[in-house]
Amino acid sequence: MVEKAVNAAFDEYFMRMALREAEKAAADGEVPAGCVVVEEPDDPDAIPAAARILGRAHNQTEMLSDATAHAEMLALSSAFAARGNWRLVRTRLYVTKEPCPMCAGAIVLARVGTVVWGVDDPKRGGGTVFDIFNHPGINHHPAIVRGVLESPCRDVLVSFFRSRRAGNGSAPTFNNTTED
């Protein structure tokens, strides 16, 4: 699928929102991933305030004791409810870390138009490692935009895992995002 272009400020705005979700996850002791689903704008020069947010979430696997409670899965469920339909055509999904194979499969099944992520996952990436988004056997191929706000997305993950390895029970603090 060909990416529907939007301006960089549009993508960065919603990635910052996803980063705030990731920071909530870290504060809760969850792997810091955040996700936001918005309707695709008709105008490539659209301002973020014109976009309808359909869902947003952060990882909650520990809190819910649910291996499927990834940020993408929870945000997709909210988007389905907001749309009243499981087909999310003409949407953009923003996530701080590349979706895993489970989330990539759900994104394909939901027919999300464009997937935007901050940092690649070189071990379990549903796109870069398993190539789910481009698999020839599936009937929907979302457009992919990689590397949006890559440094702050990487920083939130590195800080979280560094804190974990150090045995620090407190959640790390972040100053990578700005308010809406």
Q: What are the residue numbers of the active site?
A: 72
Q: Which of 124, 129, 131, 127 is nearest to 116 (CA)?
A: 127
Q: How many CB atoms lie within 10 A of CB 14?
A: 24
